[in-house]
């Protein structure tokens, strides 16, 4: 039976980086949920669907088949058999994705799509509601987090390294605001699943966090 791993946590906790690297070590498929949402956006935009017409969007989705695979160590996203990996990363698609992601019909469609991916292969999936909503029966659930101050410092260091003149206090305020929004939103709010393993990466670098996730998965699966 395929093994499914759900990793949830707040923004800036390093979920995607850790999940992707851990999947590579374990030989699992990393499901980039953001890329999946982008694939829907790309499909609807190219088909000329009226984005303000929920019924039209819902109808269009009946003709969509999307998948994620890895080739030569790189992630590839396909839409109806066509590799659209680069096409879903354009500024236009980026600007439209959040609009489509808020639609109940899109969320319902992708909920089943992501579950189907988990039924067909070993996966690691990260997000805000994977263990609570998308994969409530996941074999392993991890709530990966760090304090707002740690996450803000990581972001501050990243931006400073790029030469940007930023304020730590402003970034910390933004992190706290995002946490409130994610935790208080009506649709699938961020919260730790009751059976999730709590993992604070505040005193870990990326490699240590990846190894900890790999160890957790191996220990839980081998029980």
pLDDT attached to residue 73: 67
At 61, which CATH number? 3.40.50.300
Residues 129 and 214 in one domain: yes
- Residues 104 and 91 reside in one and the same domain: yes
The predicted pLDDT at position 35 comes to 87
Ranges of the chain with pLDDT below 50? none
- 97 with 172, same domain: the answer is no
One domain for residues 70 and 17: no
The contacts found for 99-107 with CB under 8 angstroms, 24 or more apart, are: 99/41, 99/51, 100/37, 100/40, 100/41, 100/44, 100/51, 100/57, 101/37, 103/54, 103/57, 104/54, 104/187, 105/54, 105/57, 105/58, 105/61, 106/37, 106/40, 106/57, 106/61, 107/187, 107/188
- pLDDT tens digits along 153-189: 999 998 999 999 999 999 999 999 988 888 887 777 8
What's the pLDDT score for residue 205? 93
pLDDT at residue number 60:
95
Residue 69 has a pLDDT of 81
pTM of the full structure = 0.83
Q: What is the pLDDT of residue 87?
A: 95
Q: What is the pLDDT of residue 88?
A: 93
């Amino acid at each position: 039976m395929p093994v499914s791993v759900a990793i949830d946590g707040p923004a800036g906790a390093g979920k995607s980086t850790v999940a992707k690297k851990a999947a590579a070590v374990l030989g699992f498929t990393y499901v980039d949920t953001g890329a999946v949402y982008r694939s829907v956006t790309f499909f609807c935009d190219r088909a000329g669907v009226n984005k303000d017409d929920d019924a039209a969007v819902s109808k269009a989705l009946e003709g969509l088949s999307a998948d994620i695979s890895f080739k030569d160590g790189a992630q590839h996203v396909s839409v109806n058999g066509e590799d659209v990996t680069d096409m879903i990363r354009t500024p236009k698609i980026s600007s439209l994705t959040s609009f489509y992601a808020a639609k109940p019909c899109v969320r319902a469609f992708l909920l089943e799509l992501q579950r189907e991916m988990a039924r067909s292969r070993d996966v690691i999936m990260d997000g805000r509601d994977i263990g609570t909503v998308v994969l409530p029966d996941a074999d392993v659930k991890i709530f990966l987090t760090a304090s707002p101050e740690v996450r803000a410092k990581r972001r501050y260091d990243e931006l400073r390294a790029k030469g940007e003149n930023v304020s730590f206090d402003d970034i910390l305020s933004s992190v706290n605001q995002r946490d409130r929004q994610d935790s208080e939103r009506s649709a699938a709010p961020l919260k730790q699943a009751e059976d999730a393993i709590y993992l604070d990466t505040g005193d870990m670098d990326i490699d240590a966090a990846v190894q900890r996730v790999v160890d957790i998965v191996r220990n839980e699966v081998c029980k």
